[in-house]
Amino acid sequence: MIFDGIEEHGVEQVVFGSDPTTGLRSLIVIHDTTLGPSLGGVRMWPYPSEAEAIADGLRLSRAMTVKAAAAGLNLGGSASLIIGDPGLDKTEELLRAHGRFIASLGGRFIPVNDVGTTQADMETIGLVAAPVCDRGDPSPYTALGVLCAIRAALEVTDLAGVTVAVQGVGNVGSRLVGLLRAESAEVIVADVVADRARGVARRHGARQVPVEEILGTPCDVLAPCALGEVVTRRTLPDLACRVIAGGANNVLAQPSLARELGDIRYVPDFIANAGGLIYLEEQLLGHDDDRATERVRKVGNVVADVLAMASDGRVTTVEAATELAHARLAARRVAGNGWWSPDRPVPTYSLDRRQ
C-alpha cells in the first residue's frame, strides 16, 4: 500500500523517524534528486491519520521537484512532516531528534520552514544537521518574481496604467503592492484582516475593496497572494481579469480548470512564485542578494517560454510548465549525470556550520 503511493508519485526514498523519548513521529519524503540535493518544507501538523500524512508528503515533495526543475534550479524536491500540534507538541528536543534523521541523509534533504515551523525551528535543526535554510526572508524575492511574471504575461516592460487586484497583503502581497505602485500600476487590495489591507492601501496609494469583491473586480491582472483554491467552478464565472499571476500555491482548485479559463492567461503558480526558492538556492550557494535578484528577474523568461508552448491551445499553461520541468529532468537523466551518484560527493554549502 505504501509502496504503491511511492511508485505512483515517482518518489525516491521515504524515511520514517520515531523517537519515543521526545514523542517524535516524522517522515521525510525525497521525491527526486536528479538535479541536485532535495529541498523541502518541514511541516508540523496534527494529521488525523498516518495515511493522510504520507499522502501529503508524497504530493508536496513532487510539487517541489516540478517547481525547482521548471525554475531551472539545481535542486530536487522533497517534503518533511512532523505529526503533531505545533502549539502543544513542539519542543527543542523533538526538533533536534528530527534534525538527527535529517542529518542521517547526508545532505540529500535540505529543510526550510513551512506550516507549523519557523526559521528559529530551522536554526534548532541546524544545530544537528546541515545544510538548513534558516536565515533570510524569501518573500521579497517571491514578490519580485510575481512582478516579472505579470510583465511577461502582459508582454510589457513596465506596468504603468495596468490595473492589478491583489488578494491578500501579507508578506508577499504587501511587497508586490509596493513594487507595482513603483511602476505606476493601479492597485486594488483586499485582505481578511481589513486593517492590514487598509494600512497597505494607505501606504502605497492603492484602493481597498471588501474581501468578497476582489475576485470579481474588473482588472487586467488578478494576483492571488493569500491561500490556494482561488479558482473554482463557483468563482470562475465571476473573474473579470485578463491574467492570473500571484504568489499563492494551488491557485486552481483542480489543474483541469486551466482548460476552462477562456481568454484568461493563467501563469502557473509554481512558475510565478518561484522567486523565493531561487533566492534560497542562491543563499545555499553563498551568493549575494544582487545575484539572487538578477536570477529572480528571469522568472519572466520562463513565463514567456510557457506561454509560447501553450499558445496554440493544444496544452494548457499548467501542462506546458510541467512538461518543461519533466524535459529538464529527463535530459539530465539521459545524460547520466544526475546529482546522486556514488562518485559525486555531497556538495558543501556555505550554510553548513560544521565546515
Binding residues (CB under 6 A) for ligand NAD: these are: 138-139, 142, 167-173, 190-193, 196, 211, 225-227, 247-249, 273, 276
Q: What's the min distance (Å) between Cβ of 338 and ligand NAD?
A: 26
C-alpha of 10 from chain center: 20
Residue 115 in contact with residue 336, Cβ under 8 Å?
no
DSSP, collapsed to helix, strand or coil, labels residue 25 as strand
Q: Of 278, 247, 228, whose CA–CA distance to 39 is shortest?
A: 278
Beta carbon nearer to ligand NAD, 12 or 114: 114
Residue environment code for 191-206, b if the CB has 16+ CB neighbours within 10 A, otherwise e: beeeebbebbbeebeb
DSSP, collapsed to helix, strand or coil, labels residue 76 as strand
Closest residue to ligand NAD: CB criterion? 170
Q: What's the min distance (Å) between Cβ of 251 and ligand NAD?
A: 9
Beta carbon nearer to ligand NAD, 8 or 213: 213
Q: What's the min distance (Å) between Cβ of 153 and ligand NAD?
A: 17
Beta carbon nearer to ligand NAD, 278 or 310: 278
Beta carbon nearer to ligand NAD, 74 or 119: 119
List Cβ<8 Å contacts ≥24 apart for 234-238. 236/260, 236/261
Beta carbon nearer to ligand NAD, 211 or 261: 211
Q: What's the min distance (Å) between Cβ of 23 and ligand NAD?
A: 27
Q: What's the min distance (Å) between Cβ of 130 and ligand NAD?
A: 22
CA separation, residue 308 to residues 90, 257, 285, 321 (Å): 47, 19, 31, 11
Beta carbon nearer to ligand NAD, 94 or 149: 149
> Cα(296)–Cα(40) distance, rounded to whole angstroms?
19
Q: What's the min distance (Å) between Cβ of 175 and ligand NAD?
A: 8
Helices then strands, each counted (H, E), the chain: 13, 11
Polymer length in residues for the chain: 355
Contacts of 54 (CB under 8 A, 6+ apart): 2, 5, 14, 27, 29
Beta carbon nearer to ligand NAD, 72 or 247: 247
Q: What's the min distance (Å) between Cβ of 354 and ligand NAD?
A: 27
